[in-house]
């Protein structure tokens, strides 16, 4: 959601940050499945995920209902198997 809202103009979230967050969460899930302990294992991963959560909190305070609905729709399509595609930037 944070990525989709960022693309709609609510905060800055780079594609590199998206990939790093995805890797950090994959580590949490892999470790949890293997050991039964679900935790963020490094300070850098924690800092990245905390920054994303903080940005998402700010987005929820400022984004319009339309932006939230569009982001939610995109997330559902992504979860359903649709490939991630960044929003096209509008031309001035």
The answer to the question of residue 60 being in a domain is: yes
What is the structure's pLDDT at 92? 41
Q: Is residue 90 part of a domain?
A: no
In-domain check, residue 9: yes
With a threshold of 0.85, does the pTM exceed it?
A: no
Whether residue 68 is contained in a domain is answered as: yes
The token pair that represents 33 in the structure block: 């499945």
Q: Domain residues for 31?
A: 2-79
Q: How far is CA 56 from CA 5, 33, 51, 63, in A?
A: 8, 27, 9, 10
Which of 79, 92, 83, 74 is CA-nearest to residue 7? 74
Provide the 8-state DSSP code for 88: P
Does 35 fall in a domain? yes
Report d(CA 86, CA 45) in Å as an integer: 24
Residue 84 forms part of a structural domain: no
Q: What does each of the 92 residues of the chain score in pLDDT, given as a tens digit?
A: 998 999 899 988 888 888 898 899 999 999 999 999 999 989 999 999 998 999 999 999 999 999 999 999 999 998 899 988 777 654 44
Looking at the 3D structure of the chain, how many domains does it have?
A: 1
């Amino acid at each position: 959601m944070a990525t989709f809202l960022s693309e709609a103009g609510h905060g800055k979230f780079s594609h590199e940050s998206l990939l790093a967050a995805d890797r950090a969460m994959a580590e949490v899930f892999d470790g949890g499945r293997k050991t039964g302990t679900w935790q963020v294992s490094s300070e850098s991963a924690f800092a990245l995920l905390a920054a994303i959560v903080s940005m998402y909190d700010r987005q929820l305070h400022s984004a319009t209902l339309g932006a939230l609905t569009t982001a939610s729709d995109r997330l559902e399509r992504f979860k359903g198997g649709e490939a991630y595609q960044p929003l096209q930037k509008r031309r001035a």
